[in-house]
Amino acid sequence: MSLTRPEAIIFDVYDTLFANSPERWQEAFADISAEQKLPYDGAELWKRWKVFEVNFRASRTNMEDPGNNPSFKPYEQAWLECFQMVFNEDKIDGDAALAAKRSVEHMAKRDPYPETVEAIAKLGETFRLAIFSNADDAFVLPLIKEHGLQFESVFSSESAGIYKPHPEAFKRILNKLGLPPKSCWYVGDHLWDDVYGASQVGMQTVWINRDNREFDGRVRPVQEIKSLLELVNLAAE
Residue 116, pLDDT > 90, answer yes
Residue 63, pLDDT > 80, answer no
**The predicted structure's pLDDT at residue 219:** 82
**The predicted structure's pLDDT at residue 61:** 78
Residues 6+ apart with CB under 8 A from 83: 49, 94, 96, 99, 100
Give the integer Cα–Cα distance in Å for 73 and 53: 12
Label the pairing between strands 153-156 and 184-188.
unpaired
**For the chain, what percent of residues have pLDDT higher than 90?**
88
Higher-confidence residue: 59 or 206? Answer: 206
**The predicted structure's pLDDT at residue 71:** 85
Tell me the mean pLDDT in the region 14-35: 97
Give the integer Cα–Cα distance in Å for 10 and 185: 6
**The predicted structure's pLDDT at residue 204:** 98
Residue 217, pLDDT > 90, answer no
**The predicted structure's pLDDT at residue 237:** 86
Give the integer Cα–Cα distance in Å for 137 and 31: 23
**The predicted structure's pLDDT at residue 55:** 92
Higher-confidence residue: 68 or 29? Answer: 29
**The predicted structure's pLDDT at residue 58:** 85
Tell me the mean pLDDT in the region 26-38: 97
Residue 133, pLDDT > 70, answer yes
End-to-end Cα, the chain, rounded Å: 16
Per residue in 153-190, pLDDT (tens digit) is 999 999 999 999 999 999 999 999 999 999 999 999 99
Q: Which residues pair with 128 in a beta bridge?
A: 8
CATH of domain 8-19+111-236: 3.40.50.1000
Q: What is the mean pLDDT of the chain?
A: 94
Tell me the mean pLDDT in the region 59-69: 72
Spell out a b/e string for 12-37, using b for 16 or more CB atoms within 10 Å of the CB, else e: bbbbbbbbeeeeebbebbbebbeebe
Per residue in 78-101, pLDDT (tens digit) is 999 999 999 999 999 999 999 999
**The predicted structure's pLDDT at residue 70:** 80
Residue 68, pLDDT > 80, answer no
**For the chain, what percent of residues have pLDDT higher than 70?**
98
**The predicted structure's pLDDT at residue 66:** 59
pTM for the model: 0.93
Tell me the mean pLDDT in the region 135-139: 97
Domain-wise residue ranges, the chain: 8-19+111-236, 22-107
